């Protein structure tokens, strides 16, 4: 029987959400938890999860060396045939944690590892060339599909079987090229692709090209003392109570708020909706993320012409690039229509 150690975060262990992201690593010997149940069903009689390691996302990323040392010691003791992390979907800190510990398990213990996450997860870019990383949907709604691809790959790794191309074994391309014989020669494949393209039918290129989003910079503002400056943030600053219910992760919309006459963002009037960082300091003084107070001072001193009477806000945590682009295109037009000369965009 193949032995598997499974790593998950506090959310998938059903301990809690962001409010419990501070919990240290825990070892649950002989326990199958959260997504592990789906893996257990998929493994059937070929493998068993002998231990589940649970760790809060914040604790892992804020105590990186301690987290790695602690978890590696547990994995070494269990001595599994394969290590499975996640899947993390589009949760950024979770994805980075999965990639980090999977890479460490491989490098320091010599145990093969597999993880899974959404292609836009920062952990994917960081670790897909080091750890077999299965592409998933951007939320846990894709759990079944993720496990269906991760489990067979984990079994192949545990057995020491040859891993096929990324399109065959369903992992993200990792830069490794292997020679193999195709059933059809290149000229036939090229003509087939061309005919599909001419007929407006779907086809898969054999040489995908990277897509770079190039944005030409705007000319510098000639005279700041006459300019209208607007504030935009992905740091989730919202009026107290989050009236538009902007999600703490994977935001589906943005907020537009009037700050006419507002000189300072106080603890009583503003807060952050963001679920990807410790909110304490932002909630104490939202100006730390959205500097209304400083820009009001500059407005008084004549450094800038005026601060625009509206700000736009959303949450960058786990939000898809396509969604963020759609938000910006919409409110950018509003800013242009309002005669705004420049925007200060703040993050976290």
What would the pLDDT profile of 36-71 be if each residue is shown by its tens digit? 999 999 999 999 999 999 999 989 988 999 999 999
19 — pLDDT class (breaks 50, 70, 90): confident
The per-residue pLDDT for 122 is 83
Task: State whether residue 157 is helix, strand or coil.
Answer: helix
pLDDT digit string, tens, across residues 98-110: 999 999 999 999 9
CB 112 within 8 A of CB 158: yes
pLDDT over 80 at 208, yes or no: no
d(CA 264, CA 129): 46
Query: Which pLDDT score is estimated for 180?
Result: 76
What Rg value do the Cα atoms of the chain yield, rounded? 24
Query: Cβ(111)–Cβ(81) under 8 Å?
Result: yes
Q: What percent of the chain has pLDDT over 70?
A: 100
Residue 298 φ then ψ, to 5°: -65, -35
pLDDT at position 75: 98
CA-CA distance, 292 to 289, in Å (whole number)? 9
Q: Indicate the pTM of the whole model.
A: 0.69
How confident is the model at residue 30, as a pLDDT? 95
Cis peptide before 87 (omega within 30 of 0): yes
- At 175 the pLDDT is 85
**What value does the mean pLDDT of the chain take?**
93
What are φ and ψ of residue 321, in 5° steps?
-60, -40
d(CA 121, CA 250): 11
Mean per-residue pLDDT, 296-308: 97
């Amino acid at each position: 029987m193949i032995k598997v150690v499974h790593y998950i975060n506090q959310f998938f262990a059903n301990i809690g959400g962001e409010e419990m992201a501070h919990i240290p690593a825990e070892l649950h010997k002989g326990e199958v938890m959260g997504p592990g149940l789906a893996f257990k069903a998929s493994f059937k009689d070929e493998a068993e999860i002998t231990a589940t390691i649970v760790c809060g996302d914040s604790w892992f990323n804020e105590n990186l060396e301690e987290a790695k040392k602690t978890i590696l010691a547990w994995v070494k003791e269990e001595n599994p045939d394969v290590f499975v992390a996640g899947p993390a979907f589009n949760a950024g800190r979770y994805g980075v944690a999965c990639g980090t510990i999977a890479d460490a398990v491989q490098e320091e213990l010599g145990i093969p590892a597999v993880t899974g996450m959404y292609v836009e997860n920062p952990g994917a870019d960081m670790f897909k060339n080091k750890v077999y990383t299965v592409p998933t949907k951007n939320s846990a709604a894709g759990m079944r599909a993720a496990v269906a691809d991760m489990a067979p790959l984990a079994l192949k790794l545990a057995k020491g079987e040859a891993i096929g191309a990324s399109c065959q074994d369903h992992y993200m391309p990792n830069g490794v090229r292997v020679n193999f014989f195709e059933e059809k020669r290149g000229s036939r494949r090229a003509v087939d692709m061309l005919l599909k393209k001419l007929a407006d039918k779907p086809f898969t290129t054999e040489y995908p090209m990277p897509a770079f989003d190039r944005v030409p910079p705007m000319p510098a503002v000639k005279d700041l003392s006459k300019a209208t400056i607007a504030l935009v943030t992905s740091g989730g600053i919202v009026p107290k109570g989050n009236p538009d219910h902007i999600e703490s992760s994977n935001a589906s919309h943005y907020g537009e708020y009037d700050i006419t006459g507002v000189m300072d963002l106080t603890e009583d009037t503003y807060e952050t909706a963001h679920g990807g960082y410790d909110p304490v300091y932002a909630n104490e003084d939202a100006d730390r993320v959205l500097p209304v107070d400083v820009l009001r001072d500059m407005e008084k001193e004549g450094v800038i012409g005026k601060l625009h009477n509206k700000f736009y806000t959303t949450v960058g945590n786990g939000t898809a690039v396509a969604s963020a682009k759609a938000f910006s295109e919409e409110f950018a037009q509003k800013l242009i229509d309002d005669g705004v000369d420049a925007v200060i965009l703040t993050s976290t």
